[in-house]
Amino acid sequence: MLLVLVEQTGGVASDPSLQTLTLARSFGEPIHALVIGSAVDLSHHGVAVTHVAVHDELDSFAPDAWAAILGQLADRLGAGAVFAAGTDRGNDVMARVAARMRLPLATNCIAVAPGPPVTLTRQRWGGSLLEEARLHSARALITVAPHSVPIEPARAETRVERFTPQLKEQELVVHVAEHVSTKGGGVSLAEAKVVVSGGRGVGSKEGFAIIEDLAGLLGAAVGCSRVVTSAGWRPHTDQVGQTGTKIAPELYIACGISGATQHMAGCKAAKRILAINSDAEAPIMLNADYAVVGDLKEIVPAISAELRKRK
């Protein structure tokens, strides 16, 4: 049997967790799920038993406590493998499970097959490269790369059980003490339908005025490459890429961006990409759907003018 950690907000399972349930089912059954705090209905996702962990001290997220709970339940059930989504929290908690149980962990997998040894394919370089690997362990620990496996529903009779973990004081030392909201106005980069992004080709901080103007007309968010954040032209919160934000807009407009793999790791989920670049041979041309060749300082204002004309 397999144990899957399911993350939730207000009783609704996260998409990456549902993707994880789908991949776990291809690995083996029956599936037991662990949710922490309140119950989640997983009867449409092939879960045989949902364990709801309840504890007085778990109102705020405490990663060592979550790892302790996952480990205790895996031991009690004799789970052959433990899965979680490859989210910030999923990877964090699973690495702590690996550490406390002295088991190897494979993160951000996109395919897994039972062993021994377990064979798997996992993402490297933010998904720009894949690794085929073997996991030598009686109990496999796996996280699943978000948005790499489509959710496939499956009906099941789900039993719900309450689980009361034993937590030590030291497992509660690291916990969220406070949440500070930073939601400002404007369109968030991660959720925008259109993103207009500038790279080194924009030339300066002031150069972004034409990018912002076009973004304003399209109700789009402004993004940028790492060269731009390193130069201090834009804040890091605008950076798209492996070490920036990952986006999935309808249209991504990349202006003066060469298309390095680490940049593309952040925008490859875009439905369509328009590259505006003076170099017709720039690598981004092989990853874009549309291109305009030439100086962005002429092209971007011309697009804005055309949009205004047609309004």
Ligand X SMILES: Cc1cc2nc3c(=O)[nH]c(=O)nc-3n(C[C@H](O)[C@H](O)[C@H](O)COP(=O)(O)OP(=O)(O)OC[C@H]3O[C@@H](n4cnc5c(N)ncnc54)[C@H](O)[C@@H]3O)c2cc1C
The yes or no reply on residue 279 touching ligand X (CB under 6 A) is: yes
The 276-295 site mask, x for binding another protein (CB under 8 A), equals ----x-xxxxxxxxxxxxxx
The yes or no reply on residue 262 touching ligand X (CB under 6 A) is: yes
Least Å distance between CB 201 and another protein? 14
Segment contacting another protein by CB under 8 A, of 36-44, 45-53, 155-163, 227-235: 227-235
Least Å distance between CB 295 and ligand X? 4
305: phi then psi, degrees, rounded to nearest 5: -65, -40
Give the Cα separation of 108 and 144 in Å (integer). Answer: 5
Site for ligand X in 209-248 (CB under 6 A): 225-227, 239-244
The yes or no reply on residue 266 touching ligand X (CB under 6 A) is: yes
The one-letter amino acid code at 1 reads M
Half-sphere exposure of 247 (CA within 13 A, CB side): 37
The yes or no reply on residue 107 touching another protein (CB under 8 A) is: yes
Q: Which of 21, 67, 141, 257 binds ligand X (CB under 6 A)?
A: 257
- Which CB, 241 or 249, lies closer to ligand X? 241
Segment contacting ligand X by CB under 6 A, of 69-77, 116-124, 169-177, 258-266: 258-266
Residue by residue, DSSP assigns 69-114 as HHHHHHHHHT-SEEEEESSHHHHHHHHHHHHHHT--EEEEEEEEE-
Site for another protein in 144-173 (CB under 8 A): 173
- Which CB, 86 or 259, lies closer to ligand X? 259
Segment contacting another protein by CB under 8 A, of 70-78, 119-127, 153-161, 202-210: 119-127
Place of tokens 């059980």: 161
Six-digit token pair at 127?
């998904």
Least Å distance between CB 304 and another protein? 9
The yes or no reply on residue 98 touching ligand X (CB under 6 A) is: no
CA distances 146 to 20, 33, 133, 166, 213, Å, are 8, 18, 19, 30, 33
Closest by Cα among 233, 280, 229, 230 to 258: 280
- Which CB, 220 or 300, lies closer to ligand X? 300
Six-digit token pair at 184?
């400002």
Which entry of ligand X, another protein, none binds 199, CB below 5 to 8 A by partner kind?
ligand X
The yes or no reply on residue 277 touching ligand X (CB under 6 A) is: yes
Q: How many CB atoms lie within 10 A of CB 99?
A: 12
Q: How many CB atoms lie within 10 A of CB 76?
A: 11
Give the Cα separation of 240 and 197 in Å (integer). Answer: 8
Give the Cα separation of 232 and 5 in Å (integer). Answer: 39
Least Å distance between CB 78 and another protein? 20
Which entry of another protein, ligand X, none binds 273, CB below 5 to 8 A by partner kind?
another protein
Least Å distance between CB 61 and ligand X? 26
